[in-house]
Structure 1
């Protein structure tokens, strides 16, 4: 008996997301090693943790495909992009990567809606929220770097920023959680 509850199109787009999440883990890992070699231990710490988080996302998608009777596929990964020139470029590249991943998640949610695959649509909502957090987190990093002086930040500012980034939580404050008593 065939127990697969996923269409071929849904299976294909989810398997593509498996690859995207694995590549995201590699990108974060690559940038973490770059940051560490540049002396940004705090930034490296954050990026190493995010590499693991992206692998967790990959596992969620693999598990979902398998749980719904489909067959997850593990494929070859693209090489991570070249090292950034500075912290500004690092954060900008990470932000662009997260925006691209958000668009891929939207494609999954859109296709599942079109196919009336409500289980996959519901599964995708967790990733929609996660991408809001991911983009917000990187925008906050970019804002902090801008306040520190951006690409022209002094060594002292970068040292302070790096220490603060290393101590910050991995989750960003979201508008959906704000209230009058706790706006951020």
Structure 2
């Protein structure tokens, strides 16, 4: 029976490759968010620090979701190398701009995975990726709304802005019918 279980992964090779790349991307995102949280902490932006600590943990959970999926399907998931990330930022705004850039990159990567799944007729993995597609809609929304707040607060109210940033939530779900 063990030989039968080892014989064939239900995940196609091309899909396994892009999922392992996504695991690495999620872990790099986690590291970047941890660096952002540390910068915010060092500069007195307590609310933003908390937000980015949570983001860091969330990205790690995303990586683990993919890692477990691969191993559960008989594929091989690799523990990724995570390169060093920058620890310094020019301003609180630049931290949030970096977050949006990171989320856009993740969205592009998720979309590529869905395309590979379709090309390879890997419907199970495509179904898993639907969750990630929805997650990215929320992540990009929050990052964009955060950046919009920077234009609504005078420079001398940066700590009020920090608190306001922590209160952004995603209320909509464009994937629901509304019923």
Contact 2:27 2:80 in 1 (8 A): no
Gaps of 5+ in 1: none
Q: 2:98 and 2:165 mapped to 1: Cα distance?
A: 17
Q: 1:68 and 1:107 mapped to 2: Cα distance?
A: 20
TM-score, normalised on structure 1? Answer: 0.88
- The 1:64–1:138 alpha-carbon spacing in structure 2 relative to 1, beyond 3 Å, is same
1:120 aligns with 2:118: no
Corresponding residue for residue 172 of structure 1: 170
Correspondent of 1:99 among 91, 96, 104 = 104
Corresponding residue for residue 142 of structure 1: 147
Q: 1:71: Cα distance to partner?
A: 1.0
Q: CA RMSD in A?
A: 1.8
Q: 1:67 and 1:3 mapped to 2: Cα distance?
A: 12
Corresponding residue for residue 158 of structure 1: 158
Number of aligned residue pairs: give it: 173
TM-score, normalised on structure 2? Answer: 0.90
Contact 2:39 2:87 in 1 (8 A): no
Correspondent of 2:17 among 12, 23, 29 = 12
